[in-house]
Every structure is written in structure tokens, then in C-alpha cells.
């Protein structure tokens, strides 16, 4: 059965719903999330999208992404999807949101109000092969260079996040999950 996505306005207020493929064919704005799981060394868990995905197959991206179901809170959906895709459970904290519209493969369009979550992973992932064909831990400081060298190897949303948020901000996200008490400390 095809997934139903939550359509939203530019402020993430729900405006309706529609089938996932139709949403991406028409480029309709919808609610989504992207998860960044770090290890204690500050490396980001990256996944390579499975070839069976309907777009952006075989591309490297952040740990996990997805869409909340109708009536499901975004944070709960992120927890659910992290386990479904990567076999991981850990506390997640929202750090930012991103509104973007980009052409992806197969003549589809991603137009997302994307909630960005971070967490600290303490165990190796157990990737679902229907979702991720590979995974690796990559130091944050290496990622901008990797994207610059081979931008076609990464998803458009992952590249966009690294364009909009400086490396220092992503390192701050890591510090937040490593030292949760610092989350409310003045900057």
C-alpha cells in the first residue's frame, strides 16, 4: 500500500494529504525529517540508499530520512524510521528545519519542510537492505571535501544541508548530543 504524506504550508501547518508518488511527481510541499547520528568520535553515520528506492538510488546521504504518517508526531516518526532503516534506537533532538525544493532522479521533485534531528549512536547499525545498501562512519570535517569532489554521489538534500549550515554548526549539533547539558548553555 502506498504511503500518504502530510502536505504543509511554508510554516509547516498541515494543509492536506496525498499519495507519496503523486506528491513527488507534482513537487507538492510535504513534511519530512532527516536524522544525523554521530558516534562518540564525532563521526556521522552515513547510509547509501538502496537501489530499490524510487529516487536517489545508490546515493550517499545522512543516517536516515522519512515522512511522518497521518496523525503521527514528527519526532515519533523519526524514532520509528531510524529503527526501520538502520536498526537503531537512541534519543533524538530536533536542531533545525529546512524548507527546500529540488529536482531528484526519475523526474521527481522533493519539496520538503524537513525537520532535522540528531542523536548519539552507541551500537553498530543493522541496516535494512531494502533501505540502505551500505553505511559508513565519516568524520564531519571530511564531508564538505567529499561533496565537493563528487557532488553527484550525494543526495540533493544532504548537499543542501551542508550548503546552508556551516561545518561549525554541524559540529555544535554533535556537541549537543555528546554533552546534553550544554544544549541550554549560552553561546
**Closest by CA position to 31, among listed 4, 49, 2, 55:** 4
Residue 111 is labelled as binding a ligand: no
Q: In a 3-state reduction of DSSP, which class is residue 58?
A: coil
* 65 among known catalytic residues: yes
Give the whole-angstrom CA distance, residue 176 versus residue 187. 12
Q: Provide Rg for the chain, Cα atoms.
A: 16
Residue 110 marked in a binding site: yes
Catalytic residue among 64, 112, 131, 159: 112
85 is in an annotated binding site: yes
What end-to-end distance do the CA atoms of the chain give, in Å?
47
Which of the residues 65, 90, 102, 163 is marked catalytic? Answer: 65
State the cell numbers at 115. 525537520
| 67 labeled part of a ligand binding site | yes
Number of alpha carbons in the 13 Å side-chain half-sphere of residue 146 = 16
Q: Is 30 annotated as a binding residue?
A: yes
Active-site residue, 112 included: yes
DSSP tag of 47: E
Task: Give the bridge partners for 132, in sequence order.
Answer: 49
> Which residues are documented as binding site for Mn(2+)?
24, 30, 67, 110, 112
> Which residues are documented as binding site for Mg(2+)?
85
> Which residues are documented as binding site?
24, 30, 67, 85, 110, 112
Residues annotated catalytic, as ranges: 65, 112
Amino acid at each position: 500500500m502506498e504511503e500518504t504524506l502530510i502536505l504543509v504550508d511554508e510554516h509547516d501547518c498541515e494543509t492536506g494529504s496525498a499519495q507519496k508518488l503523486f506528491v513527488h511527481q507534482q513537487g507538492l510541499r510535504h513534511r519530512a525529517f532527516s536524522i544525523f547520528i554521530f558516534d562518540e568520535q564525532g563521526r556521522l553515520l552515513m547510509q547509501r540508499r538502496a537501489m530499490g528506492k524510487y529516487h536517489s538510488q545508490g546515493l550517499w546521504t545522512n543516517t536516515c530520512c522519512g515522512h511522518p504518517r497521518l496523525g503521527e508526531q514528527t519526532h515519533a516518526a523519526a524514532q520509528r524510521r531510524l529503527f526501520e532503516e538502520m536498526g537503531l534506537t537512541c534519543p533524538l533532538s530536533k536542531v533545525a528545519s529546512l524548507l527546500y525544493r529540488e529536482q531528484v532522479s526519475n523526474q521527481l521533485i522533493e519539496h520538503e519542510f524537513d525537520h532535522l534531528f540528531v542523536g548519539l549512536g552507541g551500537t553498530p547499525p543493522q541496516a535494512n537492505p531494502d533501505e540502505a545498501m551500505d553505511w559508513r562512519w565519516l568524520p564531519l570535517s571530511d564531508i564538505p571535501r567529499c561533496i565537493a569532489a563528487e557532488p553527484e554521489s550525494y543526495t540533493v538534500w544532504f548537499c543542501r544541508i551542508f550548503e546552508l549550515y556551516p561545518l561549525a554548526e554541524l559540529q555544535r549539533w554533535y556537541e549537543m548530543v555528546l554533552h546534553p547539558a550544554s544544549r541550554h548553555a549560552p553561546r
